[in-house]
Amino acid sequence: MEVILRPDGESVAATAFELVLSALKAKPNLVLGLATGNTPLALYRRLREARLDLRKVRFFNLDELVGLGPRDPRSFQHFLRANLLDGLRVTPGNVRLLRGDADDLEQAAASYEAAIRKAGGIDLQILGIGRNGHIGFNEPGSSLGSRTRPKTLEATTLADYARGFPAGKAVPRFSITMGIGTILEARRLLLLATGGAKAEPIRRVVEGPVTSEVPGSALQFHPLAHVILDEAAGARLSRRDYWKWVYANKWRVGQ
């Protein structure tokens, strides 16, 4: 695991952008896994502004709320199109996003796994971290070997997502999400976290024991996982000085 501590959210995005760019240069037909949420927004803005030709890139995403179709403004698919994909030069056939309105979610999950395999596997997966330590919508207790499947959401997650829903309108209680096993098969992982609310989950992900109670801690098994944090999200790490020293002495990110 490589932990990179940056002063603020914009520098987190700049470092993540540099890493994504180097992956795109090395492999123009990169298979890129996207995350939804507030954390990657600054990175997505940089990707849009860079006006890159990403027509060869294949895109997948981590998760979706069950019951929401792609045109629903609260769906993750809509979020990713509005905040990233619609502003990029991409090939529509190369974009494969999970659908929350599938009739048969188990079947949708199996065909999603098959599509990832057909694309040759995910090269670079962008991740955020939930307050409860989830990655994707793998809530605490999820099997560390889990695959894409429907998953029941936890109360903290429902509370966090309730903000995007009109008052009185319930947040979907179920998601469809890549599993932890699916995520760990990506060749490279890029976990971003900003803000003090992420300090404790990040401490448990980076320094805690590997446990399904903190799904993000499974990243400790991955051979190439970058964890990019701002000062607030890294505030509870006991070896902050070590990580800063490592990064300061590194000649290029991600090599």
Half-sphere exposure of 147 (CA within 13 A, CB side): 12
Per rule CB under 6 A, is residue 32 in the interface with ligand F6R?
no
Stretch that binds ligand F6R, among 35-43, 111-119, 143-151, 218-226 (CB under 6 A): 35-43
**How would you class 205 by CB atoms within 10 Å of its CB: exposed for 0-12, middle for 13-18, buried for 19 or more?**
buried
Q: Which of 134, 138, 222, 231 is an active site residue? A: 134
**Within positions 51 to 80, which residues make up the interface with ligand F6R, using CB under 6 A?**
62-63, 76
- With CA atoms as reference, report the closest residue to 164 among 86, 75, 99: 75
* Angle, alpha carbons 192-166-131 (nearest 5°): 25
Q: Does 182 bind ligand F6R (CB under 6 A)?
A: no
- Binding ligand F6R (rule: CB under 6 A), the pick from 9, 100, 128, 234 is 128
Q: How far is the CB of 171 from ligand F6R (least distance, A)?
A: 12
Residues 6+ apart with CB under 8 A from 54: 24, 88, 89, 90
Candidate list 36, 77, 142, 217; residue touching ligand F6R; CB under 6 A: 36
- Residue of the chain from 78, 134, 149, 204 that contacts ligand F6R (CB under 6 A): 134
| Residue 35 within binding range of ligand F6R, rule CB under 6 A | yes
Q: Which is nearer to ligand F6R, 29 or 150 (CB)?
A: 150
Residues 187, 27: Cα–Cα separation, whole Å: 13
Active site (annotated) includes residue 222: no
Characterize the bridge pairing of strands 58-61 and 95-96. Answer: parallel
x-or-dash pattern for ligand F6R, window 74-113, by CB under 6 A?
Answer: --x-------------------------------------
Residue 130 in the binding site for ligand F6R (CB under 6 A): yes
Known catalytic membership, residue 63? yes
> Which tokens sit at 18?
């540099």
How many angstroms separate the CA atoms of 206 and 255, rounded? 20
Q: How far is the CB of 101 from ligand F6R (least distance, A)?
A: 17
DSSP class of residue 198 equals G
**Contact at 8 Å (CB) between 182 and 147?**
yes
Residue nearer to ligand F6R on the CB measure, 200 or 246: 200
Nearer Cβ to ligand F6R (131/255): 131
Token couple for 110:
């199996």
Q: How far is the CB of 132 from ligand F6R (least distance, A)?
A: 9
Catalytic residue (choose from 113, 139, 154, 231): 139
**116 lies in the binding site for ligand F6R (CB under 6 A):** no
Identify each DSSP E strand in 43-180 by its residue range.
58-61, 63-65, 95-96, 124-127, 149-152, 174-177
Question: Is 134 one of the annotated active-site residues of the chain?
Answer: yes
Strand 31-34's sheet: what is its strand order? 2-6, 225-230, 188-193, 124-127, 31-34, 58-61, 95-96
Shortest approach of ligand F6R to residue 136 CB, angstroms?
4
Positions touching ligand F6R (CB under 6 A) are 35-39, 62-63, 76, 128-130, 134-137
The residues assigned a catalytic role are: 63, 132, 134, 139
